[in-house]
Amino acid sequence: MSSPDFSVRISGVTKSYGNVVALNGIDLDIMSGQIFGVLGPNGSGKSTMLKIIASVLQPDDGSVHVLGMDCRTDYLKIRKHIGFVPEDSVIYESLTGEEFLSLVASVYEIGKDEFERRLEALSAAMDTRGIMSELIGNLSFGNRQKISIIAAMIHDPEILILDEPTKGLDPRSFRIFKNILTMLAEKGKTIIFSTHAMEIAEELCQSLCIIYKGEIKTEGSTSSFLKGENGRQKLEKTFLTITGETDLETVADNVGRTFQ
C-alpha cells in the first residue's frame, strides 16, 4: 500500500508490445503536491508509463499504487481521482466543445451549477469561450488540445497526468496553463507531465526523471540538476549524455556542408 506522502509508487514495472519492450523494470516514487516532469526522447517509454499511472494500461509485471490504490484491482476508483491528457487525445468530433464537456461532467457527477462555474473559469483562462458551440471536428489542433485540457481538469482531480500537453498551445494559453499548474500544485495537487523542453522542466518542476529505452536513467529534485553555473546547460547535457546524443555539433556541421 502506498504511503500518504506519495501520490504514485511504481515498483519493478515492465510492459511490452509484442517483442518491443516499452518499460524494463522501472521503479519510481512521486511525492504528493508537486509538479513532476518526465523527460525522454520519442519512443523512450514516457507515454506508456503515464498511461499505466492513469490506469489506462496494465503493466505486464510489477506493481503501481496511485493514492494508495492498486492499479490492477482499483483502476476504476483511481480514474475518478485522475485527470489525463494523452499525447494523441481522441475526443468526440461530432459533439460541440460544450456538449463534450457536459458529457464529461455527467460521468463525474458534477452538478449543473458547479459545472457551469468551472467551465466559465477554465474557458476564460484557456480562451475557448468563442469556440464552445463549434463541432470539435472543425477545431484546430490547438483548440482541441485546450478542450482536452479542460476535460481533464473539470472534475478537480487529485492527480493531473499530462502527456506533452503544451503542443499546439498559443503563447497566451501556454503561459496561463503553466500558472494554473503551479497554482494547483500549491493547493496540494500532483501534476505529472512529459516534455521534451528543458526550459519547461526547469521552470515548472520540483522533481523530474529522465527515461530512456524503457528505463529510468536518473531522477531527483530539479534543483539538484541545476546546481552551479549554467544550470540549464547542465540539465540539457545530462539529458543528451544519457540518450547518447553528445555529438550534435558534428551532425549539424554535416548538414551545413551538404548545402554549401
Walk me through the domains of the chain, giving residue ranges and CATH numbers: 1-32+39-81+160-168+196-260 (3.40.50.300)
Residue 50 binned pLDDT confidence (cut-offs 50, 70, 90):
very high
Range in 41-55, 112-126, 213-227 with the lowest mean pLDDT: 213-227
DSSP SS3 for 138: helix
For the segment 20-46, the average pLDDT, to the nearest whole number, is: 94
User: Is a pLDDT exceeding 60 seen at residue 39?
Assistant: yes
Assign residue 210 a region: left if phi > 0, alpha if psi is -120 to 50, beta otherwise? beta
Which spans in 7-96 are helix H?
A: 46-53, 75-80
Specify the pTM: 0.88
pLDDT tens-digit map of 124-178: 999 999 999 999 999 999 999 999 999 999 999 999 999 988 888 888 888 898 8
DSSP single-letter state for residue 244: T
Sheet strands (E) in 40-138: 61-66, 69-70, 82-85
Separation CA 193–CA 166 (nearest Å): 10
Q: Which grid coordinates are listed for 90?
A: 481522441
Separation CA 131–CA 58 (nearest Å): 36
pLDDT, averaged across the chain = 88
